[in-house]
Chains A and B, each alone.
Chain A
C-alpha cells in the first residue's frame, strides 16, 4: 500500500507549470463540500502517495506522506498510546492527512490542546513552479526561515502540493470522563469560560441547547477531583458522543437548512440570529442551522469579533468563506503569486 509517487507528482506539476495548465489537487475527496468552487483543472491525485515515513514515539513526532489515510495514522499512534492532539474530523473514510492539513480541520480538543496548524512541524511541498521544497523539520523548536509549514494549513492546496507532513503528537490521556449538566445558553457560555480560566483538565465542551457536555482528561485522580468540582451526570457512551459531534453525525446536524460555522471569541454573548445552535470549543466554535441571509449572519459574527463560514448546504453559488478585507486580499494574491506564479494550483478555490 505504501508508495512514494513524489517524483511523478513533481513531474506533473513541473509540466503543468511549463504549459500553464491548471491542476485540481485531489486526496481522499472527503471534504470537497467545504469549498464549493471546485477548481477547473486536470485532477492531480495525491491519495496514492501514502505511508508513514518515520514515527518516533519518544520524540513525539510522526512524518507521513500526504495521501496517508487519517485512520492509518490514528491506528499507529493508538498502538503507542499516542494521538493527534487536535482530534481532526474525518468527514469520510477516505480522509487523508494532506486534506486534513490543507483544510486546517480540528475537532473537540482544539481549544484546550491546539489546532491542526499548531502541531505542524514541517512539510515537503511542490510549489507552483514544480520545485520540491522542504520547510520546518521534525523538531519542536525551529525558527530558521519563514514558517512556510504552518502557512500550508488552511491554504486548501493553493500554495503547494503537500508531499510529506511532520506533526507533533501527544500521549493519550490515561483517563477520560464526560459529564452533562442542564443549563441555559447564556449560563453555559459563562460557565465554560469560567472553567477555562481555572486549572482544570478540560479537553472538550459542547452545548446542544439544553445540556452542557464537558470532557475531562488526565490522570485518574485528577479527573476524579475535577469531576467532583464540576459535577453533573456521567455520560456512558462518551466516546461515540464526541465522535458524533466531531463527524457531524449528531442529530443537530441533520436536516436541509444551511449549516453555518461561527468562529467567535469564546465568551462572546449569545447572538440574536434565528435558527438552532450547537456550541463547541468553550463557545469559540458555534454551529447555526438557519436560512437567515448570509450578510446578516456574517455581520453578526463580525460585530462579535469573529467570522462566519457557510459550512454545508445553501445555494450552489453561495460564497462559503468569509470575505477578506481589501488590504488582506491584496496580500493573499501577492503571496499566491510568490509561490505559484502561474496560478496553476487549485485556481479559484480561495479568494479569486
Chain B
C-alpha cells in the first residue's frame, strides 16, 4: 500500500534522477548513496508498516557538513527530503516519497559531551534514547523521557516527534527536556536554536521545532537536560472490577496533591494478554488495573505510597499490592511494558492508536470504544497513560482477511474522532505523520491548517522537507469530507453522542 497516489505528484525524470545521483556521489562516498531497489527496501517504511514506498535514493551522511551538502543539493534539484532516525515511528512520518531522498541520520551517533556540572548531554541525532541515560548513569544522572521504544529509537526522532513515555505527567515530554538544537535548514544552512542557558532571546523556536515531524529542518545535534536519579522508586498495583472506579482512583490520587512518576491503566483484554505473555502476576479477572509509581526522596516515597494505597482501597480496589523489592517492581512494570507485543499475540496483526482525552472522560470514551469494537467486529485492548490522559487502543485484526485492514483503519479513525469530540486530541505522542493526516481535518479548521502551512513556508518555502506529512492540504480535507469538531462541540450539541 502506498500513500494515496503520492508517486504521481513526486514524479521525477530519469535524466534528473541520474544527475542528482551523480551529484550526491560527488559529495558522499559511494557506499553512502543507495539507489537500487534491494538496498532501498529496508527504508520503505517505518514502524507503521502498513504504508510502504521505495524512495528515489537513501543517503547516509557521516557528519554535519555532509548533511548540509545533501540539503543544498536537494534544494538546487528541488527534490523532497525525508529525514529518518531509527525508523521506529508509529505514524509513518519517515515514509519515503517516491520522488524523494531519504536522509538517514544513523551514522551521526556520537555522544559528544556530558557536562555533569550543568547536567546536560550534547549528542548527535542518531544516538539512541536509552544510550544517553546509560552514558549519564555513572554520574547519577539520566534523561527523563522514556518512550517504549527507547532501546532503539533515536534522540533526533524523539525531538521530531516530541516523544513522551510513561513518566510524562511528572517529568514532561521531549520539549521540556531539551535545551538546544543544531538544525540544517532546507537551504543547507546550519542554525542554532536554544542555548546552554535555560532560555534564549527571540521566539521559542526550540518549542516550534520539537514535534515538527521533519517539516521545518533537519536536526543534527541535540543538547538534552539530565536529571538526578531519584533516591527511591516504589510502585503499587491495584485491581478494579470497574474501569470507572480505576478512573476515580486516578483523579483522587492527583487531587490528594501527589504527582506520580508513572500512572498506567490497562483494561481486561490488555491485562489478560500481558499476564499470558510475561506472568507478572496480574489479577486476570479484573476489569482494570492501575499501576502507580512514585519516586523522589526516600521519606516522601514512603508517605506517598501509603497514601496511594489508601486512596486505591477507598475507591473500591478489589486488590492492592506494593512491590516488595526491586525485582517485583520490575515484574509489575514488565507486564505493562510488554502490553503491545502481548496483545500482538492475540491476533495476526494489531494497530496501535494514540489519542489523548481529559482523564475524567475515560469511562465514557472506553464505553464508546467497546461499542465501536462490537460494531466493526474487531477486538480492542486499551492501554492508558492515565496520568496524562494518553490512550492507546490496540485494534486486533488480520491483514490477510480481505478488507480487514481498511475496516481497522476506519475504526481507528472513528476512535480518534471520538477523542477530539471528548475534548482531546488525535495524537498524544506518536505524531500525525501520514497515518492521522485525515483526522487533522477534524481537529483543526481550514484557517488553522492554513496557518500551519504558512509557518512551514517560513522555514521551507519550496516545500521540500517531508512534504505531505503532518499537515493536510485543504484540498485533501475537502476530499476527506471531515466534520470539524471544535472545542469538543459537535453540531447538534443537544444530541447525546456516547
Contact = CB atoms under 8 A, between A and B. Distances in A.
Interface of A: 56-61, 81, 104, 110-111, 114-115, 117-118, 127, 131, 133-135, 137-148, 150-151, 153-155, 159, 170-172, 174, 193, 196-201, 218-219, 221-222, 224-226, 263-267, 281, 284-285, 305-307, 309, 321-325, 327-328, 331-332, 334-335, 337-339, 350-351
B451 A222 contact: no
Contacts of B230: 199
A285 B198 contact: yes
Contact of A146 (B199, B211, B436, B445): B211
A41 to B, nearest CB: 20
B297 A226 contact: yes
Contacts of A59: 358-360, 389
Interface residues of B, number: 98
A155 B207 CA distance: 12
Nearest to A139: B356
A124 B370 CA distance: 33
Contacts of B202: 154, 321, 324, 328, 332, 350-351
Contacts of B198: 110-111, 115, 263, 266, 281, 284-285
A134 B486 contact: yes
A331 B172 contact: no
Interface string B344-360: 00000000000011111
Contacts of B452: 145-146, 148
A219 B300 contact: yes
Nearest to A308: B201
B390 interface: yes
Given A139-B358, A141-B168, A171-B259, A199 B201 contact: no
B179 to A, nearest CB: 9
B197 A338 contact: no
Given A114-B172, A146-B211, 14 more contacts: A58-B359, A81-B257, A110-B198, A117-B204, A141-B429, A144-B440, A145-B444, A147-B210, A147-B212, A174-B257, A263-B195, A265-B118, A328-B191, A332-B202
A50 B471 CA distance: 32
Nearest to A263: B197
11 contacts: A142-B424, A144-B440, A148-B451, A150-B208, A197-B228, A198-B140, A199-B229, A200-B297, A219-B304, A309-B201, A325-B192
Interface string B457-490: 1110000000000110000000000000011000
Contacts of B296: 199, 201, 218, 222
A193 B117 contact: yes
Contacts of B302: 221
A81 B256 CA distance: 9
Given A115-B199, A201-B296, A221-B300, A144 B426 contact: yes
A56 B207 CA distance: 26
Nearest to B303: A219
Contact of B455 (A104, A141, A338): A338
Interface string B220-257: 00000000111100000000000000000001101101
B76 to A, nearest CB: 19
Contacts of B297: 199-201, 218, 222, 225-226
B201 A221 contact: no
A20 to B, nearest CB: 18
Contacts of A331: 191, 205, 458-459
Interface in B285-309: 296-300, 302-304
B390 A221 contact: no
B203 A151 contact: yes
A117 B451 CA distance: 20
B451 A127 contact: yes
Contacts of A171: 254, 257-259
B195 A306 contact: yes
